[in-house]
Structure 1
């Protein structure tokens, strides 16, 4: 079950998957067509921002790498959580690049 808030025209303007925030919220089945349509439209509207965030994150990773390479900052100057996240991202990028080198039909020797 999910909860929706509708405007005076009966159109869904907000949703909550878990809680009824006040008496104006109506419970609907999670398979309700209007509810699913609202969620799909909301996701589509957010795609541009999500895509931009992904690209900006990559720019920031590259910028930090460049600053570290040029000894402008030390990697250890960054907060531990930032170090951990950057290491995880770099590891993920390396694995992703390595996975593209060989396909399943390739042999190593």
Structure 2
């Protein structure tokens, strides 16, 4: 039971970094973001709509991402998100902070490439 709460806290602490990273260079819609996170983490991290979309709305409200509705023939309307100039700066700062954090954890635990 304790493992689940720890995993949830790690996920919560890294969610913004994960989403901003996936939006770097290419606009994506929420479902695609969710599936990429699940695929690239080999199933280790999953975001459900109930947690992903409120996070996307918060990032948009902060001005880190911008969303726009896109309609394609034969498909339902989707909201595509992309990084803003502010989001690019935030992503760079978060990556730097994450690298420092992982290095510190590695030094403490003796785990290389933590």
For the criterion TM > 0.5, the same-fold answer is no
TM-score relative to the length of structure 2: 0.30
Q: Choose 1 or 2 for highest CA Rg.
A: 1
TM-score relative to the length of structure 1: 0.31
Which protein, 1 or 2, shows the higher relative CO under an 8 Å CA cutoff with sep ≥ 6? 2
User: Larger helix proportion, structure 1 or 2?
Assistant: 2
